[in-house]
Structure 1
Amino acid sequence: FQVDFNETNIIVTEPYFNFNSVQEAMNEIFFEEYAFKSVLKTNPSFLSQYKYSKETNAPPLCSIVLDTGYSFSHIVPYFKGKKITGAVKRVNVGGKLLTNHLKEVISYRQLMVMDETYVINQVKEDVCYVSTQFMKDMETAKKRGKENMIARDYVLPDYTHIKRGYVRPQEETTGRAKDGEQIIRMNNERFAIPELLFHPSDVGVQEMGVAEALVYAISTLPEEMRPHMYSNIVLTGGNCLLPGFSERFYADVRSMAPEEYDISTKMPSNPVTYAWEGGRMLANTEEYKKMAVTREQYEEHGHSICAETFDI
């Protein structure tokens, strides 16, 4: 499948507040090395809010996107499709911190897995969930035998017979390995690990949780924008796939936000690809042409036209 870059337009997502030197290097790669016909560089949250505004019957004046990924979580408010740069908040907690902490906990309690990042990341995705009643779940996790509804055995892959690890159903969870298997017993780790998204200080990371950071970001905005922001919260990124995430996020925001505001959260069916879907939608519109920089413009004006046009 051959692609002629000279006739191809491209949308690229960049990290928030990317260094100018990196942005310029990227411009050179796209325009000088590959010679694309036109380029649009933006943030994933812009594409998410673009798709969200096109999906709602009346495009909202304001929306706020939580983008919680592998390295960081960002909270990005938008007004009429424009990012409010001064109110963007970053929380240094993402899927990587969760996986690393789970590795430490399992290594300390059961089995040395510090080198098994890929496997433990899979364990996290298969077994962990966000608790909406943390203390009650903690009490349940202390119980023994059938009364403990939380504990699960996770069978690790051996890459000969078991190609991918899997969770044993509750009725088969005994805490004992069958012939030749290696298991990890997952008990309160199932919900204590994702709790770091909401209380990073539990492991000494001096940050707000994602819900608290969103409420704080909205509080820095003009008062007339706040009700619109609270009623248009978009949840994206891989951590949103943890069962119970959107319910817990809503509950935490509701408990911290002023009572007079209605709160509405939008959780896409696939929060990982939502920004990509927004990009695909944008690529086929006239709006793309206004936002993108063509090769001719780049050749005439250089990096300055990219700096003016792209809102990174």
Structure 2
Amino acid sequence: MAPGHRRTKSSGPVPPARTLVIDNGAYTIKAGFSSPSIDAPTPSIIPNCLARDRDKKVYVGSELSKCRDFGEIAFRRPVDKGYVVNWEAQKEIWEHEFFDDKAPLHCEPKDTGLILTEAPNALPQLQLNCDQVVFEEFGFASYYRCAAPTLNAYTDIQAIFPIPPRGAAIDTQLAAEILLLIDSGYSHTTTTPLLLGKPIQTAVRRLDVGGKLMTNYLTRLLSLRQYDMRNDTYLVNEIKEATCYVSKDFKADMEQTWKGPKGDRRPGYATSGGIAKDYVLPDYHNRSKGYVRDHDPSAAGKLKALTSGKSAEAAEDILTLRNERFAVPELLFNPSDIGIRQSGIAQMAMESLSQVPFGLWPGFLANIVVVGGNANIDGFISRLEGEIRALTPAECIVRVGKAEDPIVNTWKGGATLAKDVDALSKLSVTKQEYEENGAGWVVRKFRGR
């Protein structure tokens, strides 16, 4: 080489024109495209399952919306305990939703980048399998795999905790400086302290209570007390979402819903102080959806219409819920009620904080953000804030806020990150780098090593 001649460093491949952001949840997939040219990207919410109804018809992902009879429907889910453990099923769903010619989110992987979420502290072998599928099975141009809570640092925290900014306007594309993220979803609940958009790994805590466990618990209660609902967990999940709430005073609500000693029913038990609600079950003929109404003590007598000569349409199948309404979500705060030897969600948040320097506590306590489907349970945020405030030093300000849409908030953070091409390029791995360095190198890079 001639003296003084310098070889120009290759700038590498051109970044993909757009990025597919997938928040691969256990219950639903939140997916959509984002790029600097897309002003307000919006996600699609896709059931992350394969389903088979009583007529043996199979539904893949979004096809579940075509099902009209959810009685005894069976599900096969690729995600268990928050981690993808069945890639055969997951690939079938992805292919249907993203790679089929008629898919609404159709893309060519070789021309598309990918941001994919995972649960915190996933096993290395599961991460390795995921990376191999992304590059070897689908062949995406670039790829960034991250723990789902981290993407929430790229959302507009000021919208949750509105404080007039001092000086220059805040760039919402930058990661929030300090944030305690509580993610309560289908499989589990986690607390993750985020500092400058990066998780403090030693402080991540997990509670094995999520939407699935609460639905199963409600199924058990209803099956013991009223109808056998063990083959109708999809319907029970709808009942849970429509009727359950977090109690402000658990003991007082239990007192109101107490039936009284045998043979001496309490007079207020019928309505239980307004707590009792009736859920009218769908019959999948006249009603494809159930609905909630105030408890009618005389409604049970209407079931006798079938034996009194009246038409079958005169009768309704009704579930009456009393203490089930608040006893089920109470598991988030007191999992020991059903024998789970773990701390409740408020204590878990404090356990996370105990692993960070005390000087950072005020920042984390003032910026607690809750995401995930369970954040929508009525009364959840106020109860959580009260319990955390009772456990913290009096001089600390405690603020607990729910994202505007807690189900898609993680996805919105990924969409915001995808708009910053330079930042995403530093975090991502290209297919060329994967082929040159191998899957083990990719795992180490995503761990920050």
Question: What do residues 42-98 of structure 1 show as CA deviations (whole Å, max 9, x unaligned)?
Answer: 111011122145867556532111111111111111112111001100111111111
DSSP 3-state at the match of 1:3: coil
Letter in 1 for 2:352: A
8 Å Cα contact 2:176-2:197 kept in structure 1: no
Task: Give the Cα separation in 1 of the matches to 2:158 and 2:384.
Answer: 24
Task: Give the Cα separation in 1 of the matches to 2:224 and 2:231.
Answer: 13
Whether 1:302 aligns to 2:438 is yes
In the other structure, the counterpart of 2:198 is 82
DSSP 3-state at the match of 1:119: helix
8 Å Cα contact 1:177-1:183 kept in structure 2: no
8 Å Cα contact 1:129-1:242 kept in structure 2: yes
Whether 1:50 aligns to 2:146 is no
Picking from 409, 412, 425, the partner of 1:274 is 409
Q: Which structure has more RCO (C-alpha within 8 Å, separation ≥ 6)?
A: 1
CA gap 1:147/1:81 in 2 versus in 1, 3 angstroms: closer
Pick which of 239-248 and 176-185 moved more: 176-185
Please report the RMSD computed on the Cα atoms of aligned residues, expressed in angstroms: 1.9
In the other structure, the counterpart of 1:68 is 184
In the other structure, the counterpart of 2:269 is 144
DSSP 3-state at the match of 2:300: coil
In the other structure, the counterpart of 1:156 is 281
Unpaired runs of at least 5, structure 2: 1-100, 259-267, 303-313
Question: What do residues 257-304 of structure 1 show as CA deviations (whole Å, max 9, x unaligned)?
Answer: 111110111211211111011111111112111111111111111123
Task: Give the Cα separation in 2 of the matches to 1:9 and 1:177.
Answer: 60
8 Å Cα contact 1:197-1:209 kept in structure 2: yes
Going by fraction, where is helix more abundant, 1 or 2? 1
8 Å Cα contact 1:153-1:173 kept in structure 2: no
Map residues 1-312 of structure 1 onto 2, 5 A cutoff.
Answer: 2-52=106-156, 57=165, 60-142=176-258, 143-146=268-271, 148-169=273-294, 172=296, 174-176=298-300, 178=302, 179-285=314-420, 286-311=422-447
Pick which of 295-304 and 185-194 moved more: 295-304
Question: What do residues 218-254 of structure 1 show as CA deviations (whole Å, max 9, x unaligned)?
Answer: 1221111111110111101111110111011101101
Task: Give the Cα separation in 1 of the matches to 2:442 and 2:298.
Answer: 60
Task: Give the Cα separation in 2 of the matches to 1:100 and 1:18.
Answer: 24
Letter in 2 for 1:130: V
In the other structure, the counterpart of 2:31 is none
Pick which of 13-22 and 292-301 moved more: 13-22
Deviation at 1:168, TM superposition (A): 1.4
DSSP 3-state at the match of 2:426: helix
Task: Give the Cα separation in 1 of the matches to 2:298 and 2:426.
Answer: 61
Pick which of 130-139 and 157-166 moved more: 130-139
Unpaired runs of at least 5, structure 1: none
Task: Give the Cα separation in 2 of the matches to 1:192 and 1:31.
Answer: 45
Letter in 1 for 2:432: E
Deviation at 1:308, TM superposition (A): 2.9
Number of residue-to-residue matches in the alignment = 311
DSSP 3-state at the match of 2:155: helix
8 Å Cα contact 2:154-2:176 kept in structure 1: no
8 Å Cα contact 2:149-2:192 kept in structure 1: yes
Pick which of 241-250 and 51-60 moved more: 51-60
Task: Give the Cα separation in 2 of the matches to 1:191 and 1:16.
Answer: 29
Task: Give the Cα separation in 1 of the matches to 2:429 and 2:271.
Answer: 62
Letter in 1 for 2:326: F
In the other structure, the counterpart of 2:48 is none
8 Å Cα contact 1:152-1:173 kept in structure 2: no
Task: Give the Cα separation in 1 of the matches to 2:243 and 2:204.
Answer: 32
TM-score by length of 2: 0.66
8 Å Cα contact 2:276-2:294 kept in structure 1: no
DSSP 3-state at the match of 1:75: strand
Structure 1 segments of 4+ aligned residues over 6 angstroms from their partners? none
Task: Give the Cα separation in 2 of the matches to 1:196 and 1:220.
Answer: 24
Task: Give the Cα separation in 2 of the matches to 1:7 and 1:86.
Answer: 37
DSSP 3-state at the match of 1:224: helix
Letter in 2 for 1:302: G
Letter in 2 for 1:309: K
CA gap 1:300/1:136 in 2 versus in 1, 3 angstroms: same
Task: Give the Cα separation in 2 of the matches to 1:189 and 1:250.
Answer: 23
